[in-house]
Every structure is written in structure tokens, then in C-alpha cells.
Amino acid sequence: MFWKNKNETFIGKYKIDKEICTGLISVFKKTPFGHKGKLAGNIGNYQLDKTRKSSTDLGIFANHVIKHKVVREYFEELALCLNKYMQTYRFSDEQHQAFQMEGANIQEYKPGQGFKSWHFENAGDPMSSRRNLVFMTYLNNVPYGGTEFFYQNKRFKAVIGDTLIWPASWNHTHKGEISKKQTKTKYIITGWWHYERK
């Protein structure tokens, strides 16, 4: 029996509670800049290139999970989203080596900022080579601040709570929607599930 959906994008779309989303923005805003705080967003391997990506990022570590109830609630709801994804796409989990959460970042994109270049999350380098699936949740409504997927010829709007899960490889090359019409600051939380080392 073969897969019947000829127009499949392999991008799952789910919903996270709005109060959790606004709570995560609050965590971001209350966190200072500096070590284990907010930093200028990088494009991987700690490289800064504002022509490709311009943002402020907050890495989510174990201390955030312990300290902030809303962070724990987010990951609990995200786990339910992942379960739904794996039920829909059975081979995203079946026959795979075990995978786990790699990490997450809350990101702030002011008008004119964004991840401007086409990219994908598993480029084979030491930092990204074990990534299997990607997640991203829009934390607020931002007209003209969505995400574009190249091969799927698809754009998702930035709608609070909307949560996307997709494969990490080149076939899901994507970038932020960059528009002069964007007037609001955009907040997202994003990260990866990666294969465990044996």
C-alpha cells in the first residue's frame, strides 16, 4: 500500500495555547542580554551574518525549564504535537534510531529583520548533522511575517499558536517572509529533535 496524498508537503501544522505563547514572549522580554541570556542571532556555528539573519535569540536551557512554568507547559504541548506528527507520518519515527530534543530558541524579529536567506536545518556539519525534525511556533500575530518553503511552494502566515513540524533536510529549504509591509515585531520559538549518540 502506497502513500495516497500526491500533494503532501510533510509539514505538520498544530496549535499551542495562546496564553503559553504570550507567556514565552514575557520570558524573553524579562531576560537580560549576555551569557545565557539574549544574544544576536547567528546562522549556525556561532557565525553572525546580518545580511542572512538578523534577530535577537534566547537559547532555552534547563534552567529556564526549571524556573518558568510556561516553558514546561510549552514543551508538554509540543510533545503532543510531535506525537500527532509521528502518527500521520509513520516513517518519521519507525525504523529510526531514537531521537530527543536538541534545544530551542525564542527569537525576536523586528520589522526589517528576519532569516532572509534560503536555508535548511541539517547541513551535514558537526552542529546540525544529527537533526531529524524541526519545530517552530509563532508566538504572536504578525501580518507579512510568515515563513516560506521553497520546494513546497508554500507560505505559512504568522498566527499566534500555529506550530509547524517538518523534516530537517534540504528538501525543506525555507526562509522568513521579508516584507516592507511588516510593522510588528515577530516572536517565535524554534528548535530541533536530533538522533541520540550511541
pLDDT at 21 over 90: yes
Instruction: Look at 39-48, 57-66, 79-88, 90-99 and tell me which has the smallest mean pLDDT.
Output: 39-48
Mean pLDDT of 130-147: 96
Q: How many CB atoms lie within 10 A of CB 66?
A: 10
Kindly state the cell numbers that stand for 19.
496564553
How far is residue 1's CA from residue 68's CA, in Å, rounded to a whole number?
46
pLDDT in tens, 151-184: 999 999 999 999 999 999 999 999 999 999 999 9
pLDDT at 2 over 80: no
Q: Which residues pair with 38 in a beta bridge?
A: 33, 58
Of residues 1 and 192, more confidently modeled? 192
What does the pLDDT read at residue 5? 75
For residue 141, give the nearest of 155, 156, 158 by alpha carbon.
158
For cell 506525537, the residue is 83
Q: Parallel, antiparallel, or unpaired for β 174-176 and 142-149? A: antiparallel
Mean pLDDT of 13-19: 98
Mean pLDDT of 90-110: 84
Domains and CATH numbers, the chain: 12-36+55-195 (2.60.120.620)
pTM score, two decimals?
0.91
The whole-chain average pLDDT of the chain stands at 89
What does the pLDDT read at residue 97? 74
pLDDT in tens, 74-92: 999 999 999 999 999 988 8
Mean pLDDT of 137-154: 97
For residue 176, give the nearest of 57, 62, 54 by alpha carbon.
54
What does the pLDDT read at residue 45? 63
Q: Which of 84-96 are b and which e, b meaning 16 or more Cβ less than 10 Å from the residue's Cβ?
A: ebbeebeebbeee
**Contact at 8 Å (CB) between 18 and 101?**
no
What 3 state SS string does the chain have?
CCCCCCCCCCCEEEECCHHHHHHHHHHHHHCCECCCCEEECCCCCCCCCCCCEECEEEEECHHHHHHCHHHHHHHHHHHHHHHHHHHHCHHHCCCCCCEEEEEEEEEEECCCCEECCCECCCCCCCCCCCEEEEEEEECCCEEEEEEEECCCCEEEEECCCEEEEEECCHHHCEEECCCCCCCCCEEEEEEEEEECCC
What does the pLDDT read at residue 198? 59
